[in-house]
Amino acid sequence: MTQLKRQAHPLGLWMTVAVVGSLLMGVRSSVQVDASDAANTDKSAFIDRYLDVADQIDPSLAGQLRSMCQLDPEGFEIVLRRLGPMLSGLADLRGDDPELYQHKIRELHLEATVAALAVEARRAAMDASPQNAVMRDSLRAQLEAMVRAQVMTNLDNRVLFAQRLHEHLEQLDLEIEVDQANLDAIVQDRIESLTGQ
């Protein structure tokens, strides 16, 4: 049997690396910020949306990002661009499907917990002394339980996502049937729209 090796990438750790990396490299943004009140309000709402999602994933990291936003806006903008697609997907999911969003946040929390336990288990494994055997066994058992919970949560989330896709496809099939039945009317509406008549 072929074993698939999956690399664990705890979201909080990845985000921390991106933040710290940007700070250490002193990366600066070349994007010009519109100083108008409307643009600043939109930008503020945009940033708040991402920080709310980051807060649910890792509150301490969200605090670091908020601090960076105030102290180094240009560096923060770079970090936000790097994290944007992932945070944007989660922010959209939160609005579109709150149930699936909560499941995904739980999965990310489990992933971070598994990563932290794995570090502890590796450290404990380095101390082969008999006095440390109980600690090693305990950490191993905790890690196994958490990995099991993480994998089960991932499977549940994939099932839920597949159900959402099926629902979406059923709706799309219905819309196609209606459009096919009303083809002539759709063509006429389109012509009127294009010609203004």
Average pLDDT for the chain: 77
Q: Mean pLDDT throughout 152-167?
A: 93
The set of long-range contacts for 12-20, using a CB threshold of 8 Å and a minimum separation of 24, is 12/57, 12/58, 12/61, 12/108, 12/112, 13/112, 13/115, 15/54, 15/57, 15/58, 15/61, 15/65, 15/83, 16/58, 16/61, 16/64, 18/79, 18/82, 18/83, 19/61, 19/64, 19/65, 19/68, 19/79
- Report pLDDT for 184: 96
- Quick one: 170 exposed, middle or buried, by C-beta within 10 A (0-12, 13-18, 19+)? exposed
Contact predicate 45/113, CB 8 Å: no
Q: Which pLDDT value is given to residue 42?
A: 67
What average pLDDT does range 50-67 have in this prediction?
78
With contact defined as beta carbons under 8 Å apart, do 50 and 87 qualify?
A: yes
Alpha-helical segments (H) within the chain: 11-25, 37-57, 59-71, 73-96, 98-126, 133-181, 183-195
pLDDT of residue 178: 96
User: How far apart (Å, rounded) are the C-alpha atoms in residues 181 and 170?
Assistant: 17
CA separation, residue 46 to residues 18, 51, 88, 137 (Å):
19, 9, 10, 46
Neighbours of 118 (CB within 10 A): 16
In this prediction, residue 185 has a pLDDT band, given cuts at 50, 70 and 90, of very high
pLDDT given at position 50 = 75
130: DSSP letter: G
**Most confident by average pLDDT, 56-70, 100-114, 161-175:** 161-175
Question: What's the pLDDT score for residue 132?
Answer: 86
Task: Answer with the residue of higher pLDDT: 111 or 27.
Answer: 111
Domain regions of the chain by residue span: 10-96, 97-169
Q: How far apart are CA 132 and CA 146, in angstroms?
A: 21
Of the two residues 124 and 15, the one the predictor is more confident about is 124
Distance of alpha carbon 117 from alpha carbon 110, whole angstroms: 10
